[in-house]
Amino acid sequence: NDSVKNAIIKISKIYFVTINGLIEEDRRTLRSINQDSFDFNYQTKEMKNGIYKVIRSINKLSDESGQYYVQTIDYMREAAHCLNFITTPVFEHVNNNHKPIAAQQQHELGEISEKMSDFFNLALHLIMENEHYKTKEVVKKISDIQKMIEKARLAQIKRIKTGDVNTRNSVLYLTILQETKVMILHVGNMLKSLRDLVQHSQV
């Protein structure tokens, strides 16, 4: 529970600060948060490498619980990867003084970031209140965000067709959208695996 809770807190903070840093073109903040993302990525790698020891050390862990523990760490690791694939190109974009993203892109990312924060807050609430079974609420939030991402992607394609954005802008923007889409799915699956782990541990 604590590992997942701490992971969600880190993912939420890093994502929000990164998107805000891109909008504000805050190089210093982006450099710092990019390092935080790198550290978190390394931390999840170490957790995955330590799975064997954890499973061996907990005698009461059933085979099913062990499986869900492995899944939980796997999804955490994948979410950290996605986060890294967002923070690094965003930092490099601003650090290299490339053209700022357009006002409409800022608006779209701002809305998505706000909904992502709502999602992470819900996830934290469910964990802290031991309400892991309320996965329908999680699925609904994910679905809403996915629709927002698709809408933003379509808007970007229109901008590409009209020549309102260049190649570098398009690659960065579409990367952020895609990695956000995949990341939230990994976090959702992480929550489901945690739910199953908790339920099997209580049997």
CA–CA dist 3, 160 (Å, integer): 41
CB 21 within 8 A of CB 37: no
Mean pLDDT estimate for the chain: 93
Helical pair 63-95 and 27-49, crossing angle rounded to 10 deg: 160
Which pLDDT value is given to residue 143? 97
How far, rounded to the nearest angstrom, does the alpha carbon of residue 57 sit from its chain's CA centroid? 30
CA atoms 178, 29, 125, 186: torsion sign: positive
Residue 148 sits in which domain range?
2-201
Cα angle 32, 34, 40; round to 5:
105
For residue 106, give the CATH number of its domain.
1.20.58.220
Is 0.85 topped by the overall pTM? Answer: yes
CA–CA dist 65, 63 (Å, integer): 6
Tell me the per-residue pLDDT of 148-177, one tens digit each, with 9 for 90 and over.
999 999 999 999 999 999 999 999 999 999
Tell me the per-residue pLDDT of 25-72, one tens digit each, with 9 for 90 and over.
999 999 999 999 999 999 999 999 998 887 777 666 666 777 888 999
CA–CA dist 173, 156 (Å, integer): 8
Count the domains in the chain.
Answer: 1
pLDDT at 21 over 50: yes
State the average pLDDT over residues 91-95.
Answer: 98
